[in-house]
Amino acid sequence: MSHPTGEHARVKIYASSDHAGVKLRGHLVRHLRRQGHDIVDLGPATEAPSDYPDQAAQIGRAVRDDGAALGLLVCGSGIGVVMAANKIRGVRAALAWNVESAALSRSHNDANVLCLGARFLSEVEAEALVDIWLATGFEGGRHARRVGKIAELEAA
């Protein structure tokens, strides 16, 4: 699989997590800001218990309403936030666990929200996933037809 190389295009990214993802989200926010991305960190600021559907809805709505922006969500497993974010019309959230899954979520599925599991990824691994996700473009073609069918499901 080939991926674009070189510097990432600078993008606006909304980021959030539940309590289990606070530390990893904070690390990734700093990593992305060093790369020059416009990061809107929507918290939470502490590891006090929080409910992942609330953060997922907030990110999903922000991405939906700001069509050029992307989203980043982190929870313990990544599973809860991906399920909740995909309930928001216009969101194509993907759970990535390795660089291949992160790249394919963009190239084949045009994912606009990346979901990560803090309990299963090191900071270095998570950086690699975010970096490849941002560096990979949507291929279009037959994949555009399939993404269109996903949008049709939202209208059903």
Q: What's 27's domain CATH number?
A: 3.40.1400.10
| Distance of alpha carbon 101 from alpha carbon 114, whole angstroms | 11
pLDDT, one tens digit per residue, over 11-58 is 999 999 999 999 999 999 999 999 999 999 999 999 999 999 999 999
H or E stretch covering 73: strand 70-75
Confidence category of residue 8, pLDDT binned at 50, 70, 90: low
Report residue 129: phi and psi, to 5°: -65, -45
Higher confidence at residue 3 or residue 73?
73
Residue 80: strand, helix, or coil = helix
Q: Tell me how many domains the chain contains.
A: 1
pTM of the model: 0.93
Output the six-digit token pair for 66. 């700001």
Q: If you count them, how many residues does the chain have?
A: 156
Active-site residues: which are they?
A: 75, 108
Domain that includes residue 81, residue range = 12-155
Cα torsion 34, 82, 56, 144: sign = positive
Whether residue 72 is contained in a domain is answered as: yes
